[in-house]
């Protein structure tokens, strides 16, 4: 195998590893309603399961990013794949709500450990050294994994035997090639002794990080809503309990995100964010209206428009931060960016879950949609100010 072909193989193999890890962490999405019935818990518990995932994922990101820069990517990534397999195994064996919390803890550790390092590996292995292309592959793999997990689990749960076991067995099998790819990465020598330190973003990156991080937070607050509560929202509006339909709604949103990223490739990062935020706001308004008038077609429109907006915001934000990050702290800065992303996934949805216990699910989603839509419309002015002070390369 030629050097160039081997480099391309490692690059796309790393993208596969990211895809599979994110697929596994989102397999439970259409299955939570079944877990609610089996174990007798409320929608609030679903949001708390998401919260504990974020609670362990974020410290893992903060530790693993600098560690990967110091001891090498492979040393960090191999254990992450093993922990991901344990998380899927815990879901497959779940006999109570406590098992679900434990499984999500393991998945949070795995993804937190791997996210920054995998994104940095993609930037380093991109055959032409194009960080913009590496960022595109990273964001598309992330969106595809987020969408593939729910639709795959929904399909298997609805039409195959052992609905709460088979999806996780398949995930464990898919992790085996991912581990092989990571084993093929070079084992880097430690460049310095690693010490725990306070999370920090280099001063020259902070203005870009603050605005792009805020945009990504809003984009992934919408993803968190779709992953946790929108399947139940879909069931309420459609009157259908089909698990594949619930998973497909989430998958459609993330498919639109991935397609928008492919369409947006090559455009300036700030332009992507400024285009995506109003679309994200429009999708949220349509989501609220769909609940108000009980309209599945409006829900479909909200899913498509919101997905396109989310994809443009995510690609623009990750590209801006990756381009601004110094090479010797690349994984650390990207890990910090993913901290913001997963805070967006985990925190706002807890508030929605709490509100749903008081107002009901439809009203809680409507209030959430209105608040986040307003923020999406305000943020572009801040992006424009930062761009004037510190331009991001086209």
How many Cβ atoms are within 10 Å of 108's Cβ, its own excluded?
Answer: 26
Q: Which residues contact 115 (CB under 8 A, 6 or more apart)?
A: 18, 61, 334, 335, 338
Give tens-digit pLDDT for 131-150.
778 888 887 888 888 888 88
Q: Are 259 and 305 in contact (CB under 8 A)?
A: no
Q: How many CB atoms lie within 10 A of CB 55?
A: 16
Q: What's the rounded Cα separation, in Å, for the pair 349 and 161?
A: 31
7 domain residue, yes or no: yes
> 188 phi and psi, to 5 degrees?
-75, 145
Residues 18 and 144 sit within 8 Å (Cβ to Cβ): no
Which range marks the domain in which residue 34 is found? 3-186+201-389
Tokens 């899913």: give the residue: 303
Taking Cα atoms as reference points, which of 47, 11, 28 lies closest to residue 355? Answer: 47
Distance CA 81, CA 120 (A): 17
- Judged by average pLDDT, the poorest of 157-161, 171-175, 225-229 is 225-229
302 domain-assigned: yes
The residues, ordered by sequence, that sit 6+ positions from 162 with a Cβ below 8 Å of its Cβ are: none
Report the number of distinct structural domains present in the chain.
1
Which CATH number covers residue 206? 1.20.1250.20
Over the stretch 63-98, which tens digit does the pLDDT of each residue have?
877 777 777 778 889 999 999 999 999 999 999 999
Cα 253 to the chain's mean position, in Å? 13
pLDDT at residue number 103: 96
Euclidean distance between CA atoms 205 and 330, whole angstroms: 11
Q: Is residue 193 part of a domain?
A: no
- Output 24 or 394, whichever has higher pLDDT: 24
Task: Look at residue 196 and tell me if it is in a domain.
Answer: no
Residue 242 clears pLDDT 90, i.e. is over it:
no
| 377 assigned to some structural domain | yes
**Residues 194-216 pLDDT 10s:** 555 555 788 888 888 888 999 99
On the CB side of 302, CA atoms within 13 Å amount to 28
Distance CA 229, CA 253 (A): 14
Q: Residue 117: how many CB atoms within 10 A of its CB?
A: 28
Let me know if residue 268 belongs to a domain.
Answer: yes
Spatial separation of the C-alpha atoms in residues 339 and 271, rounded to whole Å: 23
Q: Provide the CA 188 distance to its chain's centre, in angstroms.
A: 28
CA 164 to chain centre: 22
Q: Is residue 191 part of a domain?
A: no
Distance, in Å, from the CA atom of 26 to the CA atom of 23, rounded to the nearest integer, reads: 5
- Residue 394 in any domain: the answer is no
In this prediction the pTM is: 0.75
Average pLDDT value for the chain:
84
């Amino acid at each position: 195998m030629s050097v160039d072909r081997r480099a391309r193989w490692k690059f796309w193999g790393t993208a596969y590893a990211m895809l599979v890890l994110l697929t596994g962490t989102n397999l439970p999405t259409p299955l939570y309603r079944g877990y609610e019935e089996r174990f007798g818990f409320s929608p609030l518990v679903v949001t708390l399961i998401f919260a504990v995932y974020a609670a362990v994922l974020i410290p893992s990101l903060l530790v693993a990013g600098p560690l990967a820069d110091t001891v090498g990517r492979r040393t960090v990534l191999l254990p992450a794949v093993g922990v991901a397999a344990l998380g899927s195994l815990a879901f497959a064996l779940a006999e109570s709500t406590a098992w679900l919390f434990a499984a999500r803890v393991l998945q949070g550790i795995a993804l937190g450990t791997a996210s920054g390092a995998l994104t940095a590996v993609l930037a380093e292995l991109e055959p032409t050294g194009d960080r913009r292309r590496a960022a595109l592959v990273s964001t598309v793999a992330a969106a595809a994994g987020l969408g593939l997990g729910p639709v795959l689990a929904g399909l298997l749960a609805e039409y195959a035997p052992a609905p709460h076991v088979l999806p996780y067995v398949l995930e464990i099998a898919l992790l085996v090639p991912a581990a092989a790819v990571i084993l093929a990465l070079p084992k880097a020598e430690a460049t310095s002794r690693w010490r725990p330190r306070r999370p920090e973003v280099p001063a020259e990156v902070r203005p870009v990080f603050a605005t792009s991080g805020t945009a990504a937070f809003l984009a992934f607050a919408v993803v968190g809503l779709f992953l946790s509560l929108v399947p139940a929202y879909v069931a309420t509006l459609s009157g259908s309990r089909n698990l594949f339909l619930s998973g497909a709604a989430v998958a459609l949103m993330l498919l639109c995100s991935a397609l928008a990223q492919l369409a947006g490739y090559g455009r300036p990062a700030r332009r992507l964010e400024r285009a995506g935020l109003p679309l994200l706001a429009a999708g949220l308004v349509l989501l609220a209206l769909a609940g108000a008038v009980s309209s599945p077609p409006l829900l479909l429109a909200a899913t498509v428009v919101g997905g396109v907006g989310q994809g443009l915001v995510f690609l623009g934000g990750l590209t801006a931060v990756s381009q601004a990050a110094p090479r010797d702290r690349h994984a650390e800065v990207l890990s910090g960016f993913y901290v913001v992303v997963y805070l967006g996934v985990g925190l706002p949805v807890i508030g929605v879950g709490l509100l749903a216990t008081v107002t009901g699910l439809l009203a809680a989603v409507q209030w959430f949609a209105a608040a986040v839509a307003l923020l999406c419309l305000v943020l572009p002015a801040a992006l424009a100010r930062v761009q004037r002070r510190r331009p991001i390369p086209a």
